[in-house]
Amino acid sequence: MYMLTYRLRGEMEKIMAELKELRKFMNMTQKELAEKSGINLRQIQKYEYGEYDTSKMMLRNAIALADALECDVRELSELNLNIFTNEAKKAIKDGEMDLHDLLRMDKYQKIKKLSKIGEFESTFYESYKWIPETLFDKLTPDELAKLVDSFYDCYSSGKNAR
| Domain stops at, among 63, 78, 93 | 78
Q: What is the pLDDT of residue 119?
A: 94
**Is 90 contained in some domain?**
no
pLDDT score, position 3: 40
Residue 43 lies in a domain: yes
Q: In CATH, what number is assigned to the domain containing residue 66?
A: 1.10.260.40
What's the alpha-carbon Rg for the chain, to the nearest Å?
19
**Same structural domain for residues 156 and 111?**
yes
Same domain for 70 and 107? Answer: no
Shared domain check, 47 and 15? yes
10 and 73 both lie in a single domain: yes
CA 158, CA 46: separation in Å to the nearest integer? 57
Does residue 29 lie in a domain region?
Answer: yes
pLDDT of residue 94: 83
What distance, in Å, lies between the first and last C-alpha atoms of the chain? 47
What confidence score (pLDDT) does residue 21 get? 78
> Would you state the pLDDT for residue 142?
94
Asked if 73 and 109 sit in the same domain, the reply is no
pLDDT, one tens digit per residue, over 78-95 is 777 777 778 887 887 788
Structural domain boundaries enclosing 34: 2-78
pLDDT at position 66: 86
Last residue of a domain, one of 14, 44, 78: 78
Domains identified in the chain, total number: 2
Question: 118 and 89 in contact (C-beta within 8 Å)?
Answer: no
The verdict on 20 and 65 lying in the same domain is yes
pLDDT-flagged residues of the chain (< 70): 1-17, 54-55, 158-162
Residue 6, phi-psi category: left (phi > 0), alpha (psi -120 to 50), beta (remainder) = alpha
